[in-house]
Amino acid sequence: MTHDPIDRLDEWLRRDFVRINTALEEAYFAERIDVIRGRPDLEALKRQLLQQGGQLMERLADMPALPDHPHASYRLLGLVGHYLAACQRHEAPLSDRDGGRQAAWTISARIGRALGVAPRFVFAHQSLFNEAIAGRYRTFTSLPDEEVFIRYNALGVLAYYRAAEALRGIANIGVSSVVAAYLFDQAEAALCDVLRFNQDLARQLDVERFFFNIRPYFKTYRVGDVDYRGANAGDFSAINEIDITLGVCSMDDPFYRAIVREKFAHVPPDDQQVLRSLDRRPSLAWLFRSECDAHGATPEWTANAESFLAVCRAHGAAYAFHHQRLVKAYVEAPSKTATSAHTAGVTSSGPPLDEVMAMLQRLQRLRTARPDIGF
Ligand code: HEM
């Protein structure tokens, strides 16, 4: 057995932590409720969670220094955050005696300050900083639905990054360049992959399992004297980079600007650089308009304009699917009929659900509109 406190925590998260969470989830699911308090057998499991996790937190706090490398530090923030998120999810209150509260808060706050990120577990810790060992990445439970959810979310995020990277190169070679056609095709293919992954997810993920046993791990939790809003799968830069590069959204629009600002502390450090650069980017829609005004619609311009509009359509289709078939089916519909016993209610990231729905609806309108390219 390893003596390194970080490795010990990782091992625990992959074994006993999963066993405890899964047993609790099965009990909640049997009653179709999102948490149960006061039942002796379940309270015993929650005590195990706090006692075992608390000891590991204390051992981390005894380490002479936290990892130097930013990625290793960020990973550790996620490991500690997995534990804090699970305690919050089960309403198992940490104290300094049980749960290593102060140790967990101090480590999280130190890493958060050093990296300039929210000192909590975010979705990237599950999708992008979650190394598989013998084929298994970290999950809260051993429920197949959770594995499916993480897998297709991670694939969707990677496909968004791929589209963003292809589009990033186009401004430098010009929208009438024959070479740009290749990058437009890459971006369109990647966005079609996003749609495909979302469809696969919708086919395989059970609505009740998601609602009762998966989403509750993404709730707001406290570090020190601040409550940090919940994790959500949208906390990565690529989708915003795509919006701004295509020109379907603008940083001059206060609604959109506020969304980018708000997610800043919840994306990984490298993504923050990208979000920072969005203010200075010319949109491809604007480049198409300028070139058409100056030189007319040459055959190269026309061919690329068609490819560009195909990319925009693919982006809109993937996002419309997210809104209509994921958000509505997996969050809005069950929240109307299912019972929540959790004190925090059903949303993950903080605002009331109807506000979140209105915000997402507006984003859907922007992303599905045809941009003006001057022709
Ligand atoms: C069952 C699957 C999913 C559900 C139920 C879901 C639900 C939601 C909800 C309710 C929000 C609003 C923020 C919050 O309160 O949590 C959101 C935001 C977001 N989600 Fe998902 N989501 C799912 C999967 C995905 C996937 C696979 C992706 C893409 C990789 C994705 C991308 C986004 C993005 C980018 C946002 C931020 C808002 C925006 O820019 O549109 N989601 N999602």
Asked if residues 118 and 265 have their Cβ atoms less than 8 Å apart, the reply is yes
β-partners of residue 226 are: 223
Structure tokens at 67: 């990892």
Which pair of tokens denotes residue 297?
Answer: 């619609």
**Could you tell me the CA-to-CA distances from 370 to 119, 191, 238, 358 in Å, in that order?**
39, 16, 20, 21
Q: For each successive 10 residues of the chain (375 residues), what is the average pLDDT?
A: 90 98 98 95 98 97 90 96 98 92 96 97 95 96 98 97 97 96 98 98 97 95 95 95 98 98 96 96 96 96 98 98 97 86 64 92 98 88
Cα–Cα distances in angstroms (integers) from residue 78 to residues 60, 285, 301, in the given order: 14, 38, 46
pTM recorded for the entire structure: 0.95
What distance in angstroms lies between residue 20's CA and the mean position of ligand 1's atoms?
Answer: 27
Mutate-to-test residue for ligand 1 from 204, 275, 322, highest number of ligand atoms within 8 A of CB = 322
Which region holds residue 73: left if phi is over 0, alpha if psi is between -120 and 50, else beta? alpha
Contact 260, 275 (CB under 8 A): yes
Res 343: pLDDT: 66
At residue 180, the 3 state secondary structure works out as helix
Q: Assess whether the C-beta atom of 157 lies below 6 angstroms from ligand 1.
A: yes
**198 CB under 6 A from ligand 1?**
yes
For residue 133, how far is its CA from the centre of ligand 1 (angstroms)?
A: 27
Distance CA 267, CA 273 (A): 10
Q: Which residue, judged by its Cα, is nearest atom 8 of ligand 1?
A: 327
Instruction: Put residue 350 in one of left, alpha, beta given phi > 0 → left and psi -120 to 50 → alpha.
Output: left
Q: For residue 177, how many C-alpha atoms fall within 13 Å in the half-sphere facing its CB?
A: 14
Q: How far apart are CA 53 and CA 57, in angstroms?
A: 6
CB 265 within 8 A of CB 111: no
Task: Give Rg (Cα) of the chain.
Answer: 22
Assess contact for 269 and 117: CB atoms under 8 A. Answer: yes
Q: How far is residue 275's CA from residue 279's CA, in Å, rounded to a whole number?
A: 8
330 lines ligand 1 (CB under 6 A): yes
What is the widest separation between alpha-carbon atoms in the chain? 76
Q: Quick count: other Cβ atoms within 10 Å of Cβ 29?
A: 15
Name which residue sits closest to atom 29 of ligand 1, judged by CA: 156
Task: For ligand 1, atom 1, name the residue with the nearest CA.
Answer: 326
CA distance readout (Å), 192 to 94, 164, 199, 311, 319: 44, 13, 11, 9, 11
Read off the amino acid at residue 263: K
Q: For residue 223, what is the enclosing H or E element? A: strand 221-223
Residue type (1 letter), 19: R
Is any ligand 1 atom within 6 A of the Cβ of residue 237?
no
Q: What is the DSSP string of 278-340?
A: GGGPPPHHHHHHHHHHHH---HHHHHHHHHHHHHHHHHHHHHHHIIIIIIIIIIIHHHHHS--
Ligand 1 atom closest to Cα of residue 367: 41
- Residue labelled with tokens 């395989």: 204
Contact of 229 with 347, CB cutoff 8 Å: no
Residue 48, judged by CB atoms within 10 A of its CB (0-12, 13-18, 19+), counts as middle
How far is the C-alpha of 105 from the C-alpha of 17, rounded, in Å? 19
Report pLDDT for 374.
Answer: 84
266 lines ligand 1 (CB under 6 A): no
